Amino acid sequence: MLSLSSLLSLLLISALSTRHIEVAHSTTHPTDTKLLKDLKNGLHPRSVTPGSCLSSWDFRFDPCDNIFTDRFTCGFRCDVVVSGLSRVTDISLDQAGYSGSLSPSSWDIPYLQTLDLSYNSLSGSLPDSLSNLTRLRRLSLSKNSFAGEIPSSLGSLFLLEELCLDSNRLSGRIPLIFKDLISLKRLELQENNLDGEFPDLSQLRNLYFLDVSDNQIAGKCPVSFPASLIELSMRNNGLQGDLPERIGELGFLQVLDLSRNNLSGIIPSALFDHKSLQQLTLSHNNFSLLQIPDDLGAQSKLIAIDLSHNSLHGLLPAFMASIPKLSSLSLENNRFSGMIPSKFALRVAVSGDETASLKRLLLGGNYLFGPIPAQMMGLKPGSANVSLVDNCLYTCPDTFFFCRGGDQKSRLDCKGFGPQAP
């Protein structure tokens, strides 16, 4: 019969053996476990706050064996088993304000498909070793403080479908090799310090979303873009020269924003009879003329047009009042002259069976003259957002809400733009 001391010794040996077996028979591939450890160790301990995903990562236990338990509550997934070992397929950290860097890790986890560390405070450079993630489909490092150049090695991630590096401090040029990301569907590089000319990405036949706004990209507007684009935004850069007519050949395009650049010349008519374009924003440029489409916009799908803060001159483009779905039009702060077409007034006051009413009509800051159209006289505050301030109208009293917020120009300023007020 065993003594009490012998029994206690056996129990202790059994407990130690059980723990040893648990570690020895780990089901997570060792390199994947090491990557998870490196990721956590690369962060500042004070940024790993109680309740966050990383605060629960306890490497005394096997990660994939204990996923979604109180030992590894969240932050990664293990959806593939290879040769009896679980492989990490998804790392998506919570938006907990983690700080630190990614540099110490080798990123040698070949089955990872998603890496999302967005909306944190991570810094440092982007490691070249991210190119080891050969099965990666989504890389999102948005809203952090990463700096330095974008590694050209990312151009070898041929399966990548989404690349989101926006809202960081990245600098330098957009790598030319990005043209090889043949699976890419979404590219977000906005709100960085990227410069140089925009590379030719026209070969990316699956790309539907491209945003490089709020950078320092210079040179001419690219002649060609991927034909698959649905949304294109290059707002607030240093693009110069004419707007290529071929941009109107992007048959699936719905949103185009090239505002706040130095573009000039003519706005092509193809943008006003486009079969899918819904939102056109070209404000804060130096455009001087716009072409009138042959069908006068009857087939256009445009809902919102913003051509404000340019140098457009001549008569107001009355054809825009014929665009069926147009509900927002801003032409303010240009050099338009002549009288306000009655068509505009009618679209603000009344909507037809096949046309939407203009809920927003901004014409201030031009050289329009003559009387206020009669159809506008009955508009009530709140019925629409209309502004006629800073023009050359005969009269525009504050009793009309669309005359408030600024006076009409002086007779001297209006000289040469049409009949003068009596």
Burial bucket for residue 55 (CB in 10 Å: 0-12, 13-18, 19+): middle
| Mean pLDDT calculated for residue range 68-95 | 94
Report the C-alpha gap between 20 and 207 in whole angstroms.
Answer: 50
Residue 51, token pair as written in the block: 């309740």
Write down the pTM of the prediction. 0.90
Q: Is 20 a residue whose pLDDT tops 60?
A: no
Instruction: Give CA–CA dist 269/262, Å, rounded.
Output: 20
pLDDT tens, residue by residue, 27-62: 999 999 999 999 999 999 999 999 999 999 999 999
H helices within 75-176, ranges in order? none
Split at pLDDT 50, 70, 90, the class of 419 is: low
Question: Which value, in Å, is the radius of gyration of the alpha carbons in the chain?
Answer: 30
Angle formed at CA 263 by CA 261 and CA 266, multiple of 5 degrees: 145
pLDDT at 25: 52
Count of other CB atoms within 10 angstroms of residue 116: 19
pLDDT average, residue stretch 273-301: 95
Report which of 285, 356, 288, 286 is spatially closest to residue 320, judged by C-alpha positions. 356
Cβ neighbours of residue 412 under 8 Å, at least 6 residues apart?
Answer: none
- Pick from 158-172, 215-229, 392-406: least confident: 392-406
Q: How far is the C-alpha of 419 from the C-alpha of 402, rounded, in Å?
A: 22
Q: Which tens digit of pLDDT belongs to each residue from 366-376? A: 999 999 998 88
How far apart (Å, rounded) are the C-alpha atoms in residues 62 and 366?
Answer: 69
| pLDDT value for 416 | 77
Distance from C-alpha of 93 to C-alpha of 66, rounded to nearest angstrom: 17
Averaged pLDDT score across all residues of the chain = 90
Residue 156 has pLDDT above 90, yes or no: yes
Give pLDDT, residue 3: 56
